[in-house]
A and B are shown apart, each in its own frame.
Chain A
Amino acid sequence: MSKDSTKLVAVCFLIMISVLCFGQSQSIVRTTEDWPTYIDPAVGSDFSDCIAIVNLYDSLVFPNPDGSVRPHLATHWECSSDGLVWTFYLRQGVKFHSGNELTAEDVVFSVKRLLTMGEGFAYLFEPFIDKVVALDKYTVQFKMKKAYGPFLSTLVRLYIVDKDTVLRHLDSGPYGEFGDYGRKWLLEHDAGSGPYMVEEVKMEEYVLMKKFDDWWGGWEPNAPEYFKEMATADPVTIRTLVAKKELEITDEIQPMESYEAMAKMPGVEVIRFVPGGMNLNVMLHTRKPPTDDVHFRRALAYAVDYKTIANIIFPGSLVARGPVPQTLPGHDSSIQPWEFNLDKAREELKKSKYYGQLDKYPLTFSWCAEVPEEEKIALMLQANWSKLGIKVEVTKKPFGSMIADAQSIETTPNCSLIFVAAHYMEAGGMLTTRYHSKSTGTWEQCEWLLNPEIDRMIEDALSTINTEERFNKYHAIQQKLVELCPTIWLIDRAETRAYQASYVSWFVADLVHQGKQIALPLGYGLYAHDMKVFPEKR
């Protein structure tokens, strides 16, 4: 390259930089999560999906930080004495982003669309809802197949779509006259009435949402004009973005060293809180030797240093007390945590049928490659259990492989180290997905418990409408599970996030500062409507 052309390139570059370097003082809150982000409420159900969906769509009821629900699109409701008929009275004058009014017909359409497509949160409703009808423009009635106690809690996951907008965007698909039920269009657009509406979806990059000025709930001053969910979890990128104040709230899956580094940045605060319903489990295969022996399982449970995991590996977490996280309504607070006691572990091991022949039964142990901190736990357990004479073959596996392994009783390892999150804020949901026989073959139950008594107890509890009575039944199930010890419940995980405390007011951080409990379902902690941003302080 000649000297002249080198100079030309350099000059062009300088001009380009001077033209393009402009300040950013937008009223925006940006957060990060993994991609994909399915913003269609009949498709999405993961963390990333939920963050977008709760901001774009409204539900009949809305979750409170303590796990209870309050009126939202429904102003009030009634339930028949047998628990089989629920009637909801809708708020009048609610507008979708399209300008259409939200009516009972939209609720009926949304339910039918969700159940027909069978994806997303359909599993929460499909076994229970028989039919749904619009009694008049603002009254909708659900008829249930059987009584379903936690129905109200699950309704935070039933999002209402604009029927007319969806019908205007049907494509070819497998659902007869409804084609694809608007699925293709709703990948990159919304048909909601929520406080934010889709401005732009760039696949693999971000979902940008803009404030819906006509939202029925109204707005406080300084609410963010934009909310952006970006698709990256790379630690270096995230630290750089936070340092440059181009990211307001990080995701919750950064390495601890990253959070420590970000905590030292000016104006950045790192908060830790135990959200309602995520625990870390060592799932023990109850149908495969040697973990098919309850004494062997108890021996393993006694040989775990719970405090190190809760205080050092996942700081801020709580040592677990049974199968249900402590912040989840329905948790049995009488359950005591397991203690780290090698003598008791040896006593239990002696009662096991495998005692004296441990070398013939090495344990297979899988941990999730996407969560690097799990390796520390796996190695710690391997070391602790080796003191009992138990050999452990530790394997790092991508989550996809763990899902594949969990699909059959033969391929599931003896021990699977997995985080599980509750999908609605009540113990029943956790107990069903974790221990009912219907969930065997999924990653959420690598225990293969297949216990008819537990199944019956869960079904009985779920069909109990009276909350106190239902919670008592949940307690009995938890006690029974502790006795069976199919799982080593390690911790109720603290969620850690860094945020720009100097110019963002975030309700979750406020609750943490006030020492209040946070039992919000996935995604609701990033409900942008309740945040405030002060760009001038950036």
Chain B
Amino acid sequence: MSLTKYIIKRIVYSIGVLFGVSILIFIISNIVPGDPARMALGPRAPEWAVDSLRKEMNLDKPLVERYFLWLSNLMQGDLGESLRSRRPITKDIAEYLPASIEIIALSAFFMAVIGINLGRLSARFSGTWLDGAIRILSYIGIVTPAFVWAIIFLLLFTYLIPIFPTTGRISPGLVAPPRITGMYIIDGLLTGNLRVALDTLWHIVLPSLALSMGGAAQAARMTRASMVDNAEKDYILAARAYGVPSKLIYRRLLLKPSLVAPISIMALDIAALLGNAFLVELVFLYPGISRYGIEAMLNKDLFAIISVVLIIGIGYTIANVVIDVIIAYLDPRVRLGGAKSA
């Protein structure tokens, strides 16, 4: 099977998965106890107002009909109105998703830089005290939740050594750049507003770092394990026999083939951040999609819950497709095996 065919097949499968996810989450959101219309309008709103909202949300219709109505609206780009923000959900998502993408992108950068470099160092000095120290650090990184890192960084770098801002996405007094992508760094750069771009970057360093710690630790462990494994392979032994310097072997010959597994895991970790960043966003008062999603769930904000879960699902699906494609590119046996079984 050619790579193009393989990609098309994966995309078609993914659409099927997303369709299944949409049905599942629609059913779950609709059957959990509590009346969304009553919760939105408050306990004292008169019954006629609650009834009117129920009708507006189609809550008076059977579940199956509601699903198809929602699906038909979705096809037209209408995700409904959030009961909590009282705005179209598309507007909420357009505001919060780019903010999350910014911290996730920086987290990915930190994960890759910290994780791969620590793993490389650990493998290079395998069995030494440095290897031991990095491995202990990696364990700590994996078992410590991101929100704990967030609190540690907050206290360390905003209070004890106050070099970073405590909360928010941009400093008071600065005006957000004209919207192009919704990501302040990119929009700031595109509109020549360097100050806003730097200010945004300054604000997202700590939340991104906190979010990246778990993934970076995981990547460090996997990079080390792969490199130590590959170090025993024939081609490395041959290189050593030819007198290739050890530094060069580790950097040029050993690192790249050892990155497939860590990159696969990192891609999934990064996709997971869309949904897992809630507490970090809360600590830094950062307006991201994860916090929006959790608040929607706590307030039974029906259409917002479904939309956020769907976005997270899309994030995961894209990450999976990208990983599959990378692996298929790096290892042709994967797509050939797929062709045989098809």
Contact = CB atoms under 8 A, between A and B. Distances in A.
Interface of A: 1, 16-17, 19-21, 24, 26, 35-36, 38, 43, 45-46, 117-119, 122-123, 126, 174, 183-184, 187, 202-206, 208, 230-232, 234, 236-237, 240-241, 243-244, 246, 398, 400-401, 403-404, 407, 433, 442-444
Contacts of A398: 298
B33 A404 contact: yes
A240 B198 CA distance: 23
B302 to A, nearest CB: 13
Nearest to B300: A400
Contacts of B35: 404, 407
B49 A237 contact: no
B162 A244 contact: yes
Nearest to A228: B172
A24 B172 contact: yes
B38 interface: yes
A442 B43 contact: yes
B235 interface: no
A244 B166 contact: yes
A234 B291 CA distance: 13
Contacts of B113: 1
B181 interface: no
A423 B228 CA distance: 68
Chain B CB count within 10 A is highest, among A19, A119, A244, A246, for: A119
B84 A36 contact: yes
Interface stretch (B134-142, B151-159, B313-321): B151-159
A230 B84 CA distance: 17
Given A16-B202, A205-B168, A187 B87 contact: yes
Q: Which 8 A-B pairs have the closest CB atoms?
A: A118-B49, A442-B43, A404-B34, A123-B44, A204-B287, A232-B285, A16-B198, A236-B151
Interface in B87-133: 87, 92, 95-96, 113, 117
A400 B298 contact: yes
B195 A19 contact: yes
B163 interface: yes
B284 interface: yes
19 contacts: A19-B198, A43-B86, A45-B44, A119-B41, A119-B45, A122-B45, A203-B85, A203-B87, A204-B291, A206-B168, A230-B167, A236-B155, A237-B167, A240-B158, A400-B298, A403-B34, A404-B35, A433-B44, A443-B43
Nearest to A243: B159
A403 B298 contact: no
B191 interface: no
A202 B175 CA distance: 12
Contacts of B86: 38, 43, 183-184, 187
A16 to B, nearest CB: 5
Contact of A403 (B39, B49, B96, B168): B39
A123 B34 CA distance: 22
Given A118-B49, A204-B291, A407-B35, A237 B300 contact: no
A271 to B, nearest CB: 24
B224 interface: no
B221 interface: no
Interface string B187-228: 000000001001101100000000000000000000000000
Given A16-B201, A118-B46, A401 B167 contact: no
Nearest to A369: B298
B187 to A, nearest CB: 16
B35 to A, nearest CB: 7
Given A36-B84, A184-B86, A234 B283 contact: yes
Contact of B166 (A26, A183, A208, A237): A237
Contacts of B291: 204
Chain A CB count within 10 A is highest, among B84, B166, B167, for: B167
Contacts of B158: 240, 244
Contacts of B117: 1
A203 B95 contact: yes
B168 A35 contact: no
Interface string B286-309: 010001100100111000000000
Contact of B299 (A122, A400, A443): A400
Contacts of B62: none
B33 A401 contact: yes
B277 to A, nearest CB: 13
Contacts of A24: 172
A166 to B, nearest CB: 16
Contacts of A204: 85, 96, 287, 291-292, 295
B48 interface: yes
B282 interface: yes
B177 to A, nearest CB: 15
A230 B167 CA distance: 10
A20 B171 contact: yes
B42 interface: yes
B52 interface: yes
Contacts of B52: 174
Contacts of A35: 295
Interface string B2-15: 00000000000000
B57 to A, nearest CB: 12
Contact of A20 (B154, B166, B199): B199
A108 B126 CA distance: 80
Contacts of A16: 198, 201-202
Contacts of A407: 35, 38
Contacts of A1: 113, 117
A533 B43 CA distance: 38
A35 B285 CA distance: 11
Contacts of A236: 151, 154-155, 283
Interface in B208-262: none
B167 A241 contact: yes
Nearest to B198: A16
A237 B168 contact: no
B325 to A, nearest CB: 26
B78 interface: no
A21 B163 contact: yes
Contacts of A244: 158-159, 162, 166
B169 interface: yes
B56 interface: yes
A87 B195 CA distance: 56
Nearest to B202: A20
Given A204-B291, A243-B159, A174 B56 contact: yes
Contacts of B295: 35, 204
Contact of A123 (B46, B166, B172): B46
B183 to A, nearest CB: 16
Contacts of A443: 43
Chain A CB count within 10 A is highest, among B42, B162, B202, for: B42
A353 to B, nearest CB: 32
Given A20-B199, A24-B172, A204-B287, A119 B159 contact: no
Nearest to A404: B34
A202 B195 CA distance: 20
Contacts of B282: 232, 234, 237
Contact of B45 (A20, A118, A240, A246): A118
B49 A231 contact: no
Contacts of A123: 44-46
Contact of A205 (B44, B195, B287): B287
A37 to B, nearest CB: 11
A457 to B, nearest CB: 21
B6 to A, nearest CB: 33
A234 B163 CA distance: 21
A230 to B, nearest CB: 7
Interface string B39-70: 10111111011001000100000000000000
